[in-house]
Amino acid sequence: MDIRIQSIHFDASEQLQAFIQKKVSKLEKYYEDIKKVEVSLKVIKPETAANKEAGIKILIPNGEFYASKVCDTFEEAIDLNVEALEKQLVKYKEKQRSK
């Protein structure tokens, strides 16, 4: 699984990147054949409380899944995105089984 982290208009800290790697790699439990994961991090202007936007795109052989959240911290946004994507992957897997 190839994980790409793109931080727009700022540099993501080592700590944040390690956090993202750890969280995103857990998605493989829900779907084994994940080819690529693209994580985009963006700080929304003007500066407000919830101004950290994180989007995660998962590419699998026959499609893709996407989740995007805006929160106070990138960690919180990543957590929520990973949860949303877990649900999408489980649903997709169940659909595949029922075919």
Antiparallel, parallel or unpaired: β 52-60 and 63-71: antiparallel
CATH number at residue 55: 3.30.160.100
CA neighbours within 13 Å on the CB side: how many for 32?
A: 0
Instruction: Kindly report, residue by residue over 64-81, the tens digit of the pLDDT.
Output: 999 999 999 999 999 999
Cβ 86 vs Cβ 67: under 8 Å: no
Of 31-35, 44-48, 61-65, minimum mean pLDDT range = 44-48
pLDDT at 46 over 90: no
Model pLDDT, residue 98: 86
* Structural domain count, the chain: 1
Model confidence at 99, in pLDDT bands (50, 70, 90)? confident
What is the C-alpha separation between 24 and 65, in angstroms, rounded?
13
Domain carrying residue 34: 2-78
Q: Would residue 86 count as lying in a domain? A: no
Q: Would residue 83 count as lying in a domain? A: no
**Mean pLDDT across the chain, nearest whole number?**
93
Question: Which residue, 21, 27, 28, 20, is CA-closest to 52?
Answer: 20
Q: Would residue 95 count as lying in a domain? A: no
